[in-house]
Amino acid sequence: MIFCVFSFNRGRYLENCITSIETCAPGHSIVIFDDNSTDSATTQILDHYRTKHTVIQPTSDAKSRHHLGGLYGNMQRAFEECKDADLVCYLQDDTQMVRRLEDEDIADIEATFEKAPSLGFINPCFIRGINFTKGAEYSYNPELKLYFRERSQRSSGTYFSALLIMKPKRLHNTGWSFASSEPANNQQAAKHFMPMGYLHAPFAMWLPEVPAYRGKKKTLGLKLAEKKRKCGYYPFALMSESEIADLKERPESNLPIAEDFLHCIDHEPPKPWAYNPLTNTGWIKKLNQLEVSLARLFR
């Protein structure tokens, strides 16, 4: 499997993500797609990784789509760079692997794609506990060993996620090209593929309560939200052998919810964990929206 990691100005998080892949999936290829980070700590870490992994940044060629950069521009670049690979996993700098990836895991993923020709994407991550505050429901397919999110008014995460496992040739056969937003990619995926599956035994996860990337111009509302939610650096402890066994051997009815199986090193934020600083911040979120609207108006 090739791991494509997308990076921008979050050196500490990038280092944690790459270290987790090196530890949990030794022997698998790692390609870092960095969006021309300007943070000095991040550029130093990238220079270090150039000695043992491939680091790709947007081209300066204005005729190329890749000069635009951005998450989805880089995802398209990764798609084209890895078009001949069998399996590809997309992760981001604020995610990490949390357990050993065994040969049997890869075999199970391959078997699942083989059994489901219309399957485009598998999500490698645990299910977010906070999804259940929004009415999320999941069903399980024992033949495919996958959970599927039931359709609701919130279509996000039903057919597509920016964190994914795919077979590039299957996407190429549909004429796939990554759109510039998650909703647009979700809509595109719904036209070509069955819903995205969630692994019975996931191996990766977003870090909780990550602040906005370094260098981003933050509104007062966003600063207050990050303070209220105690955003910071909360890497996960790698799962022990017994924890991995418990994960794999548990009954299907026990959903792989992150908060039930994972633990942050040293200390962790209150549960359920959030992945956007503005989540459940009430008037602070409205303040941020007002500031963003005013900034656009007087641009």
Query: In terms of domains, do 141 and 249 share one?
Result: no
Last residue in a domain, options 174, 204, 234: 204
**Per-residue pLDDT for the chain (299 aa), expressed as one digit of tens each?**
999 999 999 999 999 999 999 999 999 999 999 999 999 999 999 999 999 999 999 875 544 444 457 999 999 999 999 999 999 999 999 999 999 999 999 999 999 999 999 999 999 999 999 999 888 899 999 999 999 998 765 556 799 999 999 999 999 999 999 999 999 999 999 999 999 999 999 999 999 999 987 556 889 999 999 999 999 999 999 999 999 999 999 999 999 999 999 999 988 999 999 999 999 999 999 999 999 898 888 87
Residue 59: predicted pLDDT: 73
**Sheet (strand 29-34) strand order:** 54-56, 29-34, 2-7, 88-92, 164-166, 122-123, 197-199, 146-149, 138-141
Residue 61: predicted pLDDT: 52
Query: In terms of domains, do 76 and 129 share one?
Result: yes
Residue type, 153: Q
Query: In terms of domains, do 224 and 197 share one?
Result: no
Query: In terms of domains, do 190 and 269 share one?
Result: no
Alpha-carbon gap, residue 64 to 42, rounded angstroms: 25
Q: Which two tokens stand for residue 71?
A: 């998450």
CA pseudo-torsion sign 31, 35, 38, 39: negative
Q: What are phi and psi of 141, to 5 degrees?
A: -110, 105
Last residue in a domain, options 155, 189, 204: 204
Query: In terms of domains, do 149 and 248 share one?
Result: no
Domain of residue 164, residue span: 2-204
Query: In terms of domains, do 187 and 40 share one?
Result: yes
Residue 110: predicted pLDDT: 98
Query: In terms of domains, do 283 and 236 share one?
Result: yes
Tell me, what CATH number does 168's domain have? 3.90.550.10
- Asked if residues 65 and 41 have their Cβ atoms less than 8 Å apart, the reply is no
CA pseudo-torsion sign 131, 112, 246, 2: negative
Last residue in a domain, options 177, 204, 231: 204
Residue 154: predicted pLDDT: 59
Alpha-carbon gap, residue 283 to 298, rounded angstroms: 23
What's 136's DSSP letter?
-
Residue 122: predicted pLDDT: 98
Residue 151: predicted pLDDT: 72
Query: In terms of domains, do 151 and 14 share one?
Result: yes
SS3 content of the chain, % helix, strand, coil (to 5): 35, 15, 45
The number of distinct structural domains making up the chain is: 2
Alpha-carbon gap, residue 207 to 80, rounded angstroms: 28
β-pair partners for 279: none
Query: In terms of domains, do 217 and 171 share one?
Result: no
What stretches of 65-201 show up as alpha helix (H) in DSSP? 70-81, 103-115, 168-172, 182-192
Query: In terms of domains, do 151 and 86 share one?
Result: yes
Query: In terms of domains, do 260 and 274 share one?
Result: yes
Query: In terms of domains, do 173 and 224 share one?
Result: no
